Amino acid sequence: MTKADKVQFVINTLGELYPEIPIPLDHKDPYTLLIAVLLSAQCTDVRVNQITPLLFAKADNPYDMVKMTVEEIKEIIRPCGLSPMKSKGIYGLSKILIEKHNGKVPQSFEYLEELPAVGHKTASVVMSQAFDVPAFPVDTHIHRLMFRWNLSNGKSVNQTEKDAKRLFPRELWNDLHLQIIWYGREYSPARGWKLENDIITKTIGRKSVLNEYYKN
């Protein structure tokens, strides 16, 4: 199989498995998505989806959020981990959205990445899922699978993102990044991985990864 064949195999397989693609984080608009993505750092989506209704019942927009104290926000989001940093980020970005952007989430990577606690991955998720702008946010699942599939060298998430954008057609980025996440969770997890269930890795996987699996 050429690299182009492998890329097409990935696209076809994911398209068959996930013709309808669920969005992992519950939200109703760009602001609630931004907050949910920020909370998801080093926290499971399931946990985030349990916590955001409690937070959004009190504040689902920047104007209500800044009426709360950082301490109050921190208490609510504590189960998501990193709550001191995340609560300051949520309060700080809400203030900036009001002061600089009329309370709206900006539709720009540059402005999003200027916000406190918002990195490139968070900005990419918001741009792709809230505004339908092509982006390829790389999380741990995508990073792991691109390496397992021998489509990236796994040295850094930046490199993985560059490789994904180079290999996959731009018009598919927004669907593919979600499809790969779901595939990683269901068929190719980091722990408890069963290669017989993982058709993509079994078919196009990196030789060293397959050899290591069989050895163990």
Token pair belonging to 102: 């009329």
Token pair belonging to 106: 């900006």
139 is catalytic: yes
Phi-psi region at 44: left, alpha or beta (left = phi > 0; alpha = psi -120 to 50): beta
175 is catalytic: no
Q: Are 56 and 32 in contact (CB under 8 A)?
A: yes
Q: Are 14 and 8 in contact (CB under 8 A)?
A: no
Q: Are 35 and 66 in contact (CB under 8 A)?
A: no
6, 74, 86, 121: which is the annotated catalytic residue?
121
DSSP class of residue 191? S
Nearest partner of 23 among 8, 7, 40, judged by Cα: 40
Tally Cβ neighbours within 10 Å of residue 153.
12
What is the rounded CA–CA span in Å between residue 38 and residue 41? 6
45, 86, 139, 198: which is the annotated catalytic residue?
139
Q: Which are the catalytic amino acids?
A: 121, 139
